[in-house]
């Protein structure tokens, strides 16, 4: 687990261009989904490049509680899971409330045991994030789902083939798509997932299952999943974390620097993200098979962007907003995944950013002269945005963002220091 305490404060002296090499971690979101999918395997699974972050540490404890042998190696980069001899059909009632993917883990336990209890999902609460599509998937698979103030209970003696639509009014639900994949993988017959998400962490889970005996076909109707009585184990390597890569790219560009990213392929950034970054004036080029060069391509430009499936990733919105304060011209970022995502706005305004919102639409005025500030934010990507602002602002900023940073980033602070940032981690008095 990350050794820095949750009460840590980042002391950042800004005004230095960031330059050098940065090693991108394995994808946080893909790792959590793959760990849940590994519970379906009938042989050991070895997960390589699992990031050493708080959320993965919590997940490791959740797996132990459910009866699995889950162990990270000494370097905290490889997780080995062995099938459980005796499964406890319960997501820990406290730990499960700390992460967002709790319903996905519950679906894996339901598929293995026929019943499960789980608490309400936690994670970043930048807006209302209901889990009703997960429960709808379970019901479609034949489960009886009950809920009360403490959480949920589902009973399903035998998962049946099902047909379910995982779309929401904000687009396809990634989490519900994975929940459906896990249940369909153990159903006796073929299930249909309508309007599935095609985001990277979903594709990785899909590949994991299809390589281990689950038949997968996709057509205009959706995903056709034929379950298997035996799901093989083996090794799987997690792809690079595009959310971390986006944060580092925005930090380098905002400070007038450039960076060489290692451990991620250009396609893993996805077309929607690279298209938006190119429009801002950032050049991205593949170097070898798993490296990306990031350089300025003239001045930074104001842009209009929408987050959503195949578009700008929602998690890249807050770091991008911090970057766009330094662009020439104004920008608009429209949130298309969640009802709103604005927890970073007040903190950025403390740095002098001219940024506002109206519903899902965020407006950023370019050319802001940022100043040092003392701020606190509570979610991962808002924390990333204020780190970027502090790196730009002359003077010394104090950022109370320790816990959210280490929930999502394994070595953001040490990596930024290697790029030339003047950044110190200080332990805060309780």
Over the chain (430 residues), the average pLDDT of each successive run of 10 is: 63 97 97 96 95 92 93 82 90 93 96 95 71 95 95 95 94 94 97 97 97 96 96 96 98 98 96 97 94 95 96 96 97 92 96 96 97 95 97 97 91 97 80
- Domain range for 39: 28-237
Could you read off the pLDDT of 373-405 as tens digits, one per residue?
A: 999 998 999 999 999 999 999 999 999 998 889
Q: Would 144 be classed as within a structural domain?
A: yes
Tell me: do 230 and 355 sit in the same domain: no
Q: Would 61 be classed as within a structural domain?
A: yes
Domain limit, last residue, from 201, 219, 237: 237
Tell me: do 16 and 38 sit in the same domain: no
Whole-number Å distance between alpha carbons of 45 and 230: 14
Q: Would 155 be classed as within a structural domain?
A: yes
Tell me: do 143 and 261 sit in the same domain: no
Tell me: do 198 and 273 sit in the same domain: no
Q: Would 88 be classed as within a structural domain?
A: yes
Tell me: do 215 and 256 sit in the same domain: no
C-beta separation of 209 from 216 below 8 A: yes
Q: Which residues contact 287 (CB under 8 A, 6 or more apart)?
A: 260, 293
For the chain, what is the domain count? Answer: 2
pLDDT at 427: 72
Could you read off the pLDDT of 168-178 as tens digits, one per residue?
A: 988 899 999 99
**Phi-psi map region of 195: left, alpha, beta (phi>0 left; psi -120 to 50 alpha):** left
Q: Would 3 be classed as within a structural domain?
A: no
Could you read off the pLDDT of 276-315 as tens digits, one per residue?
A: 999 999 999 999 889 999 999 999 999 999 999 999 999 9
Tell me: do 281 and 221 sit in the same domain: no
pLDDT at 340: 84
Q: What is the CATH number of the domain that holds 387?
A: 3.65.10.10
- Portion of the chain with pLDDT greater than 90, in percent: 85
Q: Which residues contact 169 (CB under 8 A, 6 or more apart)?
A: none
Tell me: do 181 and 201 sit in the same domain: yes
DSSP SS3 for 403: helix
Whole-number Å distance between alpha carbons of 360 and 340: 5
Tell me: do 210 and 264 sit in the same domain: no
Q: Would 1 be classed as within a structural domain?
A: no
Chain centroid to CA 204: 13
pLDDT at 1: 46
pTM: 0.94
Tell me: do 321 and 196 sit in the same domain: no
How are strands ordered across the β-sheet holding 361-364?
304-306, 331-334, 361-364, 355-358
Tell me: do 19 and 65 sit in the same domain: no
Q: Would 2 be classed as within a structural domain?
A: no
Q: Would 343 be classed as within a structural domain?
A: yes
Domain limit, last residue, from 193, 214, 237: 237
Tell me: do 133 and 93 sit in the same domain: yes
Tell me: do 102 and 16 sit in the same domain: no
Domain limit, last residue, from 195, 215, 237: 237
């Amino acid at each position: 687990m990350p050794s820095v305490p949750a009460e840590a404060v980042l002391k950042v002296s800004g005004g230095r261009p960031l330059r050098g090499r940065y090693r991108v971690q394995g994808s946080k979101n893909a790792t959590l989904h793959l760990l849940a999918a590994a519970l379906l395997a009938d042989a050991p699974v070895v997960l390589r490049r699992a990031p050493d972050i708080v959320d993965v540490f919590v997940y490791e404890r959740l797996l132990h509680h459910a009866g699995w042998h889950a162990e990270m190696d000494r370097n905290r980069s490889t997780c080995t899971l062995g099938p459980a001899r005796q499964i406890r059909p319960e997501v820990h009632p406290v730990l499960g409330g700390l992460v967002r993917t709790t319903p996905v883990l519950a679906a894996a336990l339901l598929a293995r045991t026929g019943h499960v209890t789980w608490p309400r999902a936690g994670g970043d609460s930048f807006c209302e994030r209901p889990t009703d599509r997960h429960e709808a998937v379970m019901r479609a698979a034949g489960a009886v789902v009950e809920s009360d103030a403490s959480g949920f209970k589902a009973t399903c003696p035998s998962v049946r083939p099902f047909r379910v639509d995982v779309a929401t009014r904000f687009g396809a639900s990634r989490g519900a798509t994975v929940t459906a994949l896990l249940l369909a993988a153990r159903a006796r017959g073929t299930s249909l997932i309508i309007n599935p998400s095609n985001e990277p962490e979903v594709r990785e889970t899909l590949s994991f299952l299809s390589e281990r005996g689950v038949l997968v076909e996709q057509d205009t109707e959706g995903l056709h999943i034929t379950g298997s009585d035996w799901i093989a184990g083996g090794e799987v390597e997690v792809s690079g974390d595009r959310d971390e890569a986006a944060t580092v790219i925005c930090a380098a560009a905002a400070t007038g620097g450039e960076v060489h990213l290692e451990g991620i392929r250009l396609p893993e950034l996805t077309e929607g993200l690279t298209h938006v970054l190119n429009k801002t004036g950032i050049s991205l080029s593949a170097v070898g098979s798993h490296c990306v060069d990031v350089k300025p391509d003239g001045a930074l430009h104001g842009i209009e962007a929408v987050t959503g499936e195949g578009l700008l990733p929602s998690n890249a919105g807050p770091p991008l907003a911090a970057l766009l304060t330094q662009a020439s011209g104004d920008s608009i970022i429209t949130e298309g995944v969640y009802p709103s995502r604005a927890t970073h706005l007040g903190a950025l305004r403390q740095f002098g950013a001219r940024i506002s919102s109206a519903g899902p639409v965020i407006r950023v005025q370019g050319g802001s002269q940022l100043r040092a500030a003392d701020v606190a934010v509570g979610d991962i990507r808002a924390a990333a945005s204020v780190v970027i602002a502090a790196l730009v602002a002359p003077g010394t900023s104090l950022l109370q963002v320790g816990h959210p940073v280490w929930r999502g980033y394994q070595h953001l602070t040490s990596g930024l220091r290697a790029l030339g940032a003047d950044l110190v981690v200080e332990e805060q008095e309780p």
